[in-house]
A = this chain, B = another copy of it.
Amino acid sequence: MGTKCGRWNPTAEQVKVLTDLFRSGLRTPTTDQIQKISSQLSFYGNIESKNVFYWFQNHKARERQKRRRKVLVDESINDEDMRIQFDNISSNKHFPEISTNHETDERVIETLQLFPLNSLSEYAETEKLRLFTEEYMRENMTFSCSIGAEMDHPTLDLRLSFFS
């Protein structure tokens, strides 16, 4: 039991709640949501809002990481996605003069080579869907998460409404 608490060690219950919220679609909680979540989760043990913040950042990033690797092994892209790629490429608006951007250039080429125009990308579609969903949720959704009696503690009501 390594309670050398130099860093946050989430309890099983905390992880369960966070995971459930994530599975239910929550990806980038607002500051208010983070506050509420951490406040609720403090019931199960020490926790700060920054822990919640980092947890979602990491969880999202690592899910994306895995999927990205898979996509690289798999395949392709469609016209829509291509447009997105091109849009993303135009960066360095702030410091165009410095712009020693070999990396970007490489990525452009790489992208063009790896993803022919006429093929499909489930990544782009799911990403678009996710973004839409997130936007939709941000304005209309209430995330809730409850833990039942099987876990030997009172049920947690974790309703996180934007308007509450």
Contacts and interface: CB of A to CB of B under 8 A. Distances in A.
Interface centre among A48, A66, A103 (most CB of B within 10 A): A48
Contacts of A95: 48-50, 53
Contacts of A53: 69, 94-95
A94 B50 CA distance: 8
Contact size range, A: 10 to 19
Contacts of A149: none
A16 interface: no
Interface string A72-99: 1100000000000000000000110010
A53 B50 CA distance: 25
A68 B50 CA distance: 11
SS class of chain A's interface: helix, strand, loop or mixed?
helix
B103 A31 contact: no
A94 B49 CA distance: 11
A41 interface: no
A73 B98 contact: no
A34 interface: yes
A2 interface: no
B48 A73 contact: yes
A69 B6 contact: no
B72 A35 contact: yes
Given A6-B103, A48-B69, A50-B98, 13 more contacts: A31-B68, A31-B69, A34-B69, A35-B69, A35-B72, A48-B73, A48-B95, A49-B95, A49-B98, A50-B66, A50-B69, A50-B94, A50-B95
